[in-house]
Structure formats: C-alpha cells, structure tokens
C-alpha cells in the first residue's frame, strides 16, 4: 500500500561566476521549482514493502472471546476506534514478544493520536493461555495498561481468525503435552472505526512506517 506523504521540494543553489548558458539553465530550474511549490499537491511515496491495503475493506464476522480480566469482549465492542490486532501466544519465543514491543513503540510514535487506537493480542493457544496467564504475560511485557489480551478455546479462535486468513497449529517437532511451540501467522491487522479490516502489516515492517500508515485512518 502507498503512504501519503508530502514531497519536499528543494530549489537549486547558485554557483560562482556562471556562464550565460549555465545561468539560463539555473533560472529555468528555479522557475520550475517555484511553480512546483506553488501548484503541486502532495504525491504518494513509493510503496512500502509489507504494507498491504485491503480493497475493498473486509468485514469480518463478529466474535466473542475473553479478556485478561475475565470479561467477554466482542469484536463489535471495539468499534469507534482504530484497532491494531495480532494473533500470537504467551509462550512464543520471538515473534509475539517482539510484536508487543513494537506495539509500545507504535503507541509512542502516535503521540496524542494513540488515544484513538486500540491494541489487541489474541491467543492461538487457549489451552495454556488462561485469563490469568494472559494478565501476567502482558504485565511482564509492560503493555498491561493498553493492550487487550483475548483468549478462548481453539474452535472459537479458529472461527475468529478465519476471515483474517489466520493459520496456527502445534509445531510437530515438539512432543511435550505442556512445553510446545505453536506455528502461526505473524501479520498485524488494522481495523477501522467500523470494524473493517483495512491494512495488513507483515512482521518485517518497521514501527514508524506502521504509525505513519495508521494516521491515514484516524
């Protein structure tokens, strides 16, 4: 997806003792630069890899899961603000803690606009991620004051994630009943104020690019 940013127009500098031809060329460039400043509208920057607009916007089915305090939360309850949503699990060794750290950075970058954005972390490992475990994990990660952690049984999470193209399954190389890894999709999703999915961010996108993109939907 393209990100709308203003183009910075720079004017040519002067050189010492230019020839007549060089002076005419310089004046022509300066005139074009002035015209651009006077009439040009902001142009989009080149596409940023890993930011994908969902066109037309996707309207996912409503679902209800349980947050870290034990309260039921439906997707429709999030309407009214933007929502940045990620599917993961608390025993994840890399993608999930890194994404939550990036959520913190995005929130800082958004400054006052952060009040209009909700951050949601949905567990794909409901067997281990109880509400108590989710609450403790978010506290350890330092995001308990702004991230909504949701959990539920596998069927409910599968149904919730299906419109997003969610994939998750227990890693076949781990045989322990309690100490196992879960393979899962690592994208984050931006939902608008009406609960429509508008943008998909790959795991590799930098927080500043995500924050700049989010501002387009505020």
Question: Residue range 156-162: average pLDDT?
Answer: 97
Q: Are 148 and 121 in contact (CB under 8 A)?
A: yes
Per-residue pLDDT, averaged over 196-218, amounts to: 97
Q: For residue 93, what pLDDT is reported?
A: 95
- Whether residues 150 and 204 fall in one domain: yes
- Tell me, yes or no, whether 26 and 81 share the same domain: no
* pLDDT of 25 above 80: no
pTM above 0.85, yes or no: no
Statement to judge: residues 67 and 129 lie in one domain: yes
Residue 211 is inside which H or E element, if any?
helix 207-215
How high is the pLDDT of residue 208? 97
- Domain carrying residue 19: 1-47
pLDDT band at 10 (very low <50, low <70, confident <90, very high): very low
User: Rounded mean pLDDT of 48-69?
Assistant: 96
Please give the sequence-ordered ranges of beta strands (E in DSSP) within the chain, or none if there are none: 51-58, 64-67, 72-74, 82-88, 117-123, 147-151, 168-170, 182-184, 188-191, 197-201
Contacting residues for 100 by C-beta, under 8 A, at least 6 apart: 86, 121, 138, 141, 143, 147
Residue 117: strand pairing partners: 82
Whether 61 and 106 map to the same domain: the answer is yes
Q: What is the per-residue pLDDT for 47? A: 53
Instruction: Over range 43-64, report the average pLDDT.
Output: 83
Total domains present in the chain: 2
**What pLDDT is stored for residue 22 in this prediction?**
36
For residue 9, the model assigns a pLDDT of 25
pLDDT in tens, 102-138: 999 999 999 999 999 999 999 999 999 999 999 999 9
Q: Are residues 77 and 142 in the same domain?
A: yes
* DSSP-derived pairing of the beta strands 147-151 and 117-123: parallel
């Amino acid at each position: 997806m393209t990100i709308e940013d203003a183009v910075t127009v720079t004017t040519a500098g002067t050189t010492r003792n230019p020839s007549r031809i060089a002076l005419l060329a310089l004046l022509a460039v300066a005139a074009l630069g002035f015209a651009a400043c006077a009439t040009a509208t902001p142009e989009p920057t080149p596409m940023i890899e890993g930011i994908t607009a969902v066109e037309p916007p996707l309207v996912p089915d409503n679902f209800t899961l349980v947050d870290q305090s034990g309260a039921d939360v439906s997707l429709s309850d999030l309407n009214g603000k933007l929502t940045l949503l990620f599917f993961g699990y608390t025993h994840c060794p890399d993608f999930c803690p890194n994404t939550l750290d990036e959520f913190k950075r995005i929130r800082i970058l958004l400054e006052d606009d952060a009040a209009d954005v909700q951050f949601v972390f949905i567990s794909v490992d409901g067997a281990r991620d109880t509400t108590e475990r989710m609450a403790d994990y978010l506290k350890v990660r330092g995001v308990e004051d702004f991230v909504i952690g949701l959990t539920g049984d596998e069927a409910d999470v599968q149904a919730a994630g299906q419109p997003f193209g969610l994939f998750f399954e227990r890693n076949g190389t781990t045989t322990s009943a309690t100490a196992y890894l879960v393979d899962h999709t690592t994208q984050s999703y931006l939902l608008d104020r009406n609960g429509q999915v508008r943008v998909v961010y790959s795991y590799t996108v930098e927080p500043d690019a995500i924050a700049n993109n989010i501002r387009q939907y505020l």
